[in-house]
Structure 1
């Protein structure tokens, strides 16, 4: 099994998000932190990781994603702003301002859209690049907890077990057609409305790299795997399973599943829990492939690089023990170089 390398020059407060660049052969990753900064790191090789940029915000940064290339990132901030940052120059531009903290931000390269979701129960759709239309707003029925995009879909996971799935092509079309509207509020209906098959609050969601479905996780140690295709045959394939549970004094302690990330090549996925454990799963065979040694604190975020060679894991205190102090050594980022068959589906 490959070892893992600790990342130097860490944030000084809890890590809220970590994402590798999706661009081919890139080894850059971005990190968002409660210390009011977004960071860019680069993996030089399995043993060397360098921090190459740091960007200050007015409040904790809750999410971050790359844009059209490695020199563009977008951040979601507790100060209500969605920002575009030019990594080279360091310049920051506010794309839009919500009416509450911004929880999530994602970028669709296929449709040149930046999508943000905030605790004011809205989604903002922003054009990127040279588009001549302004930000559009979609009102949601509940507070959003997580966003994910595939090549064609946007998945919005919300409170009350609600999930909305939008077709990105339709969102882009509606935004352009309503560009001259004074309000620019979209009444677009989601392509699908779903109720999560998980009984407790959704914590994270990620889309399959083949654009066929998604996995979501909950605070109650469960993960659900579902497919977009609404046909009865396809929907009969969906399932949920228990994970991230540890026996403590003969009692099964259940931990939140804070992170879900699909491997871009093999289509397997990783989960990270409040138990400090990362596990790899085969969504098709419905089985666990691998479990990694327990880390010193809760898994905060996971991300695979674009070619699937590296897995980045961020840890931060999850405060599952009721202690809200950040102890030394409990914040960390680790880069694992993956063996050729380490996260590959097993042959039947």
Structure 2
């Protein structure tokens, strides 16, 4: 049996600042970072090797990144903390702004859908980018002014987690409106939302070490579970669950938390099936999975709970790993 640690390798020359997002393809992955960098890595499953292919630098922090399959080529888009949506042009080594973008605050989430990019922002805008024209075709603002925290998409539906403990979903292709709104199955603010591979439900994670599993047409199937906690003699430490990722076409879910751990769960049996070795002392902040690899990004998020701001406070550098499945 291959031990978990024997199938884990660290990416070379990882961005040192806080990792904001990962986008994964069969042989390549993109990493966006708060230092404004977008890094492209090539990986080889057979050889279990990873090399840095290219890196672009933007003047503002990047919050999100996404691959989209265009008509004639593969494109990569990023969203910035300034509300910019940008196409990465590696030939000219620059970022190209998307036209007609109305967002003015951070682009927290990007999702690819049929040659389009769906964008959600902190100022509550949803936008549809026509990648062939590199321009926004459609945009509107959520009626209650909620911030978009996380999004996911499949062929039929876009799902959005917002502030106010709300979850909204929209039929695709996207049309203006507030969609179907429900209360989140969690008490505290959501960190991540993912549609189930079967498309019959969704999973949300929160600040208080909980994950909720809910279904669109069968409320009786919903459940929640606690994870990423440390039980001590006289107290219990609870860590945010920052990252969720499904093994494609299965009910196997990976969760990553600020305890620095990645757990693997079978949602059908409602049991934990694997605990990966702790990568380092940083928090697990992002994950992406396909049927070949699980990519895990770890960053130092201790600044979020620090009682004071000290310029001399040095964060630990970020590190990124590939787990070969």
TM-score (normalised: structure 1): 0.83
Do the aligned partners of residues 57 and 131 (structure 1) sit closer, same or farther apart at CA in structure 2, a change above 3 Å counting? closer
- 1:257-296 aligned at under 5 Å gives the runs 257-295=241-279, 296=281
Question: 2:11 is matched with which residue?
Answer: 7
Equivalent residues of 2:255, 2:262 under 8 A apart: yes
Unaligned runs of 5+ in 1: 175-185, 339-348
Equivalent residues of 2:56, 2:94 under 8 A apart: no
In structure 1, distance between residues paired with 2:36 and 2:134: 30
2:30 is the counterpart of 1:30: yes
Aligned partner of 2:194 among 183, 186, 206: 206
Aligned partner of 1:313 among 291, 296, 316: 296
In structure 2, distance between residues paired with 1:131 and 1:54: 21
Aligned partner of 1:101 among 106, 112, 116: 106
Unaligned runs of 5+ in 2: none
What secondary structure, in the 3-state scheme, does the structure 2 residue paired with 1:293 have? coil
In structure 1, distance between residues paired with 2:250 and 2:86: 33
2:65 is the counterpart of 1:56: no
Equivalent residues of 1:281, 1:290 under 8 A apart: yes
Equivalent residues of 1:82, 1:97 under 8 A apart: no
Question: 1:332 is matched with which residue?
Answer: 319
Equivalent residues of 1:19, 1:302 under 8 A apart: no
What whole-Å deviation, never above 9, does each CA across 1:248-302 have from its counterpart, x for those lacking one? 4542100000000111132311000000000011112211111112232100101
Aligned residues: 309
What whole-Å deviation, never above 9, does each CA across 1:28-61 have from its counterpart, x for those lacking one? 1111101111111111245311111112112110
Do the aligned partners of residues 209 and 90 (structure 1) sit closer, same or farther apart at CA in structure 2, a change above 3 Å counting? farther
Equivalent residues of 2:168, 2:178 under 8 A apart: no
Question: 1:128 is matched with which residue?
Answer: 131
Q: What is the CA-CA distance between 1:9 and the residue it aligns to? A: 1.1
Do the aligned partners of residues 140 and 42 (structure 1) sit closer, same or farther apart at CA in structure 2, a change above 3 Å counting? farther
Question: 2:227 is matched with which residue?
Answer: 243
Do the aligned partners of residues 92 and 327 (structure 1) sit closer, same or farther apart at CA in structure 2, a change above 3 Å counting? closer
- 1:151-300 aligned at under 5 Å gives the runs 151-169=155-173, 171=174, 174=175, 186=176, 188-190=177-179, 192-229=180-217, 234-248=218-232, 250-295=234-279, 296-300=281-285
In structure 2, distance between residues paired with 1:145 and 1:132: 23
Equivalent residues of 2:82, 2:104 under 8 A apart: no
In structure 2, distance between residues paired with 1:98 and 1:10: 29
CA RMSD of superposed structures (Å): 2.1
TM-score (normalised: structure 2): 0.88
Equivalent residues of 2:128, 2:136 under 8 A apart: no
2:117 is the counterpart of 1:117: no
Equivalent residues of 1:126, 1:136 under 8 A apart: no
Do the aligned partners of residues 121 and 269 (structure 1) sit closer, same or farther apart at CA in structure 2, a change above 3 Å counting? same
Question: 1:303 is matched with which residue?
Answer: 288
Deviates more, 1:38-47 or 1:270-279: 38-47
Do the aligned partners of residues 61 and 131 (structure 1) sit closer, same or farther apart at CA in structure 2, a change above 3 Å counting? closer
In structure 1, distance between residues paired with 2:286 and 2:244: 8
In structure 2, distance between residues paired with 1:61 and 1:35: 7
